[in-house]
Structure 1
Amino acid sequence: MMRIVLFLVTNLAVVLVASVTLRILGVDSYLDGAGGLNLNSLLIFCFIFGMAGSLISLLLSKKMAKMSTRARIIEQPGNSTEQWLISTVGELSRDAGIDMPEVGVFPARQANAFATGWNKNAALVCVSEGLLEQMRPEEVRAVLGHEIGHVANGDMVTLALIQGVVNAFVMFFARIAAMVLDNFLRSDEEGGGLGFFGYIAVVFAFEMVFGIAASVIVAWFSRWREYRADAAGARLAGSGAMINALNRLKAQKDMQDEMPGSMTAFAITTGQTRQFMEKLFASHPPLDDRIRALKEAAYRQ
């Protein structure tokens, strides 16, 4: 449940802070025309601020990922494992048609990995110490292929754009709903309505409700991209190795997830939930579903 809470908070934080701040400063007062809201201006306003937070997060994604996971970037390989890791990522990157990403290792007992970055030719791929210790080389290679697949597919950029559009529409419809309620409560004479602080509170409440609903869309796309990344891992490293790697991840289902909440959507090892609501907001499909999809794809070939 905590993973769902962190996912929703991440999606809503920029929108809510921007909304309250802009209203207090009176920046959005120009939206009130003679007939009420100017919908064209409102949509442009919401699009600009909705996209801004998402794009800023994307631009800072590598730095934030390094800080939150305490990843150590391999500048110069210090041992044979690091040398193999650099060589393997380089080979997979060439096969996928992208530039060599930064490669790092982060401290975690759990087998895990992630990829991030604002540009597929300036990305970051990291694996956990637990993954290197627990998986065979061909399985690690498959996980790296999965992460390289995310990069080559441009998943980080696409997810940021979708989140930005979702943020914009959450802000847009929250203000329309608040204005409708304000007009309903306003009498024909002066006074009435929600008032300044009442309007802020109502917009905040509507943004929470719409934001939760919109997060379902973002989560659906995040799950869909995992299937694509699994297919890329199978293509780059072999279906058997990718399936074995996912089975290996299933074996650690009782181990505490050590990934920061902000990085959950970019990690490979999530998707163990079976509750309907958790599935609805999950960033990853269940591992059994991912394994089944790979086996069906291999059978069709």
Structure 2
Amino acid sequence: MKRVALFLATNLAVIVVLSIVLNILMAVFGIDFASYTGLLVFAALFGFGGAFISLMMSKWMAKRSTGARVIEQPRNDAERWLVETVANQAKKAGVKMPEVAIYDSPEPNAFATGPSKNDSLVAVSTGLLRSMSKDEVEAVLAHEVSHVANGDMVTLTLIQGVVNTFVIFLARVLAGLVNNALRGNQSGGGRHGGGGFAYFGLVILFEILFGMLAQIIVFYFSRQREYRADAGAARLVGPQKMIAALRRLQQGRESQLDDRMLAFGIKGKLAKGELMMTHPPLEKRIAALQQGRYS
């Protein structure tokens, strides 16, 4: 639960920082968002702007946070097999060959990230290579290539941008209404009669509350994309290999990936309640494959 709290805190911090910048710009340029349309436009610029900046930096951030080493020239047979396997799967999936990397970690895990289907990174941990058979590793790679082929990184960014936009917008609208009511201002809603420390404090409070609710939506999509990536892997290498890989993952600990990379690993972290999980429980993913759902 602590990891999930940190993940939420990171996303809320981004929104709060954007909020502060937006309020500074409003003060500097004398902008009073009496028009809800104007406020919505600026909220969208900041909401989507932050999400797309993160997307553009995703490969760099992934390499930096995990210490992943991109395989430019395979050093041994294992690395050669990794590169060839990803190349074959990418061709079948109809996407450009991703960068293939290995990062040092005892836990079996892998992730895919990147700004687009044709500019992506697939990375596996040393722990995964040591603890899994070739068939299981092949299934994990197919799962990550399926994430790339499904465009999950871009879609998750769009969803995050939408929820950020409405968090910024609704927080200001509601803060304006409450601030007006507290001041006895009956002239109208929104930012009319707003401003000052009370208004800004209300904005931050509502952004935190709405931000926590918004992440439930993001987590829901994140869980659904794991089912789809499992199904994509089943199509590429067969369902039994993917089921075997998931069962192997059941034997390890919860994911130790950096919280910024939490949603991108093949294995997530446990939480009290599925609503706050980026990944479905492994037993549910196995059951979905066994029953042919999400195919």
Kindly report which structure 2 residues correspond to 1:68-79, keeping only aligned pairs within 5 A, or say none.
68-79=65-76
2:251 maps to what in 1? 251
**1:257 and 1:271, CA in 2 relative to 1: closer, same or farther beyond 3 A?**
closer
Match of 2:39 among 13, 24, 42: 42
**1:256 and 1:162, CA in 2 relative to 1: closer, same or farther beyond 3 A?**
closer
Deviations 1:67-97 (A, max 9, x none): 0000011010000100000000000000100
Distance in 2 (alpha carbons) for counterparts of 1:56 and 1:188: 39
Distance in 1 (alpha carbons) for counterparts of 2:29 and 2:8: 25
Q: Secondary structure in 2 aligned to 1:31?
A: coil
1:117 maps to what in 2? 114
Q: Find runs of 4+ consecutive structure 1 residues off by over 4 angstroms.
A: none
1:220 maps to what in 2? 220
Deviations 1:239-288 (A, max 9, x none): 00000000000011xx3632101000000012544x32xx1121100000
2:209 maps to what in 1? 209
Is the contact made by 1:272 and 1:287 (CA closer than 8 Å) also made in structure 2? no
Match of 1:126 among 110, 123, 126: 123
**1:14 and 1:24, CA in 2 relative to 1: closer, same or farther beyond 3 A?**
same
Distance in 2 (alpha carbons) for counterparts of 1:172 and 1:22: 11
Q: In the alignment, does 2:173 pair up with 1:176?
A: yes
Alpha-carbon shift at residue 23 of structure 1 (Å): 1.4
Alpha-carbon shift at residue 195 of structure 1 (Å): 5.2
Distance in 1 (alpha carbons) for counterparts of 2:240 and 2:285: 13
Is the contact made by 1:61 and 1:118 (CA closer than 8 Å) also made in structure 2? yes
Identity of aligned residues (%): 50
Distance in 2 (alpha carbons) for counterparts of 1:281 and 1:272: 9
Return the TM-score normalized by structure 1: 0.91
Distance in 2 (alpha carbons) for counterparts of 1:269 and 1:101: 20
Distance in 1 (alpha carbons) for counterparts of 2:212 and 2:169: 15
Q: In the alignment, does 2:260 pair up with 1:265?
A: no
CA RMSD of aligned residues (A): 1.8
2:276 maps to what in 1? 281
Alpha-carbon shift at residue 296 of structure 1 (Å): 0.2
Alpha-carbon shift at residue 20 of structure 1 (Å): 1.5
2:31 maps to what in 1? 30
Distance in 1 (alpha carbons) for counterparts of 2:227 and 2:291: 12
Equivalent pairs, count: 288
Unaligned ranges ≥5, structure 1? none
Q: In the alignment, does 2:134 pair up with 1:137?
A: yes
Deviations 1:154-198 (A, max 9, x none): 000000000001000000000001000111012469xxx775122
**1:272 and 1:181, CA in 2 relative to 1: closer, same or farther beyond 3 A?**
closer
Q: Which amino acid aligns with 1:297?
A: G
